[in-house]
Structure 1
Amino acid sequence: MEDLATKIIPLVQMLIPGFITTMIFYWLADVKKPGQFERTVQALIGTGIITLVVSGIELLVKYIGAHWFVLGPWTSQAESAWGVGLAILLGLGLAFASNHDYLYRVARKWGLTSRASYPEWIYAFRKREGQSVVLTLLDGRRLFGYPAVWPTDPSDGHFLITQPCWMDEQNEWVEMPGIESYLISNVDVYLVEFLEREE
Structure 2
Amino acid sequence: MVELDGFVYGSIKAVEVGERREAMGRRHSVAYRVEWIRRSPGYNPQPYEQLTSWYRKAGHDDDARRVLLAQQRHRRSTLHPAARAWGHLLDVTVGYGYRPWLAGVWLLALTLLGTLSFGAHSPNPVQRGQGAPFQPLVHTLGLLIPIGGLGQRAAWYWSNVSLQWLAYLLIAFGWVLTTAVIAGVTRTLQLAGDS
Instruction: Give the TM-score normalised by structure 1.
Output: 0.22
Larger relative strand fraction = 1
Larger relative helix fraction = 2
- The structure number with the bigger radius of gyration is 1
